[in-house]
Amino acid sequence: MPSLRPFIVAGIVALVVLLPGATVFVFHQQKLHQHAGAVQVLYKDLLEFRSTLSAINRKILTNENRQEVLDSVVQDTRFLHLRSVAWQSKAEESHMPGLAEWLRSQQLMLNRWLDGMNNDAYPDPDSTITMMLLQLDDVILETSMELQHSHERISSSIQFFLFIVLFVLLMFAVSATGIITVNYRKTVLPLNRLAGRLRSCNKDLPESIHDTVEDVRRHYSHDTFSHDIHQISHSIVTFCQDLEQKNKKLDELFIRDEKTNLYNYRHFRDHLVMDVARARRYNDPISLAMIDIDHFKIYNDNNGHVAGDRVLCRMAEIFIHECRKEDVPARFGGEEFAILFPRTDAGQAHMIVERLRFVISREPFEFKEGQPGGDLTISAGVATFPEDASDWFSLVNHADRALYYAKSMGKNRVMSYADIQLEGP
């Protein structure tokens, strides 16, 4: 069953080989560089050793009878002895036992020389310094060769690592080429045919996407083609299902008010028309409440539209929480709301709306103390079919009339259309 899995496995194998190898190479290179650096430092120290020793020899040969010169020679020899001790320690740390042993022998020779000068025995430059210089030249030459070998080992290590990397990459490339060739024959070509079938299946009928997907599922099953083709066909089906769900969400957004998430006027009107028709058919009562926020323009002017939007959202939450499951709250427009009460007479609707008015009057809205009366309140009008209206249109008008009558009576109250009729025009 061709897929990209072998290609991925080959890549993982290459990484598994290269990463530990690279780690080992880095540590090995660090050790080689440290050794080369230490050898180079020792090489410079040996040159300094020779330079100091030559300077001592020149002082002895030039002014062999002057006491101040002899004192200077003693001082330089002691300094050279101290330096040789440090160089010996470096040689031991750099795993160069031969050089360390030679430096130790030079320290003994320098000690004997110092003891001879302290006993007023004049040093013999021909038998001592000359021999030390000759030995030192040999040691410097050996150290120089060791330094050269260290650099050669570094270069050889890099070349070997690059060879391994190139070999692994070459094997990876060969494997990848074979895998790509197999996948092209058994996955890419069928995929091309699948794309052609998708283009030809009902391409002029967007509403028949589901039928096209069923056709793809029938002709490109897991047993017929590769696992990749099966995954693609499954993705097509999943995509179409997601598309249907998103279309439902878009429909939901189309019928919802974006600020309050209540039904908008368009959907509420369609709901009202159908529910009034159902109430007429089954001889059931249905009530409608029109609700308006009192002095909301003052609130917006004083506190801004952002604060006003928060009030609208909180009002919507209260309506949803306090209403029954079958009730239909909606935002009618601006600061005006509507609630439809199916199978609810005027008395029940008035009681529900009155409870809403009470809850809202006790709600701690921000900045409500700046409102007239110190509270943010609502006024509402209620009308009922068939007592107060003969159709949905008159039901809205009569509930609206009851609302404006409530506002004219001082606001923060609920009025029914029947109350208006009793009190007269």
Which residues are catalytic, by number? 335
Residues 195 and 273: their CA atoms lie apart, in Å, by 47
Question: Buried b / exposed e across 50-72, counting CB within 10 Å, b at 16+?
Answer: bebbeebbebbeeeeeeeeebee
Find out whether 341 and 273 touch, Cβ atoms under 8 Å.
no
**β-strand pairing of 328-333 with 286-293:** unpaired
321 CB neighbour count, 10 Å cutoff: 9
254 CB neighbour count, 10 Å cutoff: 10
What angle is formed at CA 304 by the lines to CA 303 and CA 308, rounded to 5 degrees? Answer: 90
What angle is formed at CA 357 by the lines to CA 415 and CA 407, rounded to 5 degrees? Answer: 45
Residues 238 and 7: their CA atoms lie apart, in Å, by 27
Chain-centre distance of CA 324, in angstroms? 44
Question: Buried b / exposed e across 92-116, counting CB within 10 Å, b at 16+?
Answer: eebebeebbebbeebbebbeebbee
What angle is formed at CA 268 by the lines to CA 263 and CA 269, rounded to 5 degrees? Answer: 155
Q: Pick from 420, 417, 352, 422: which is nearest to 386 by CA?
A: 417
- The counts of H helices and E strands in the chain are 13, 5
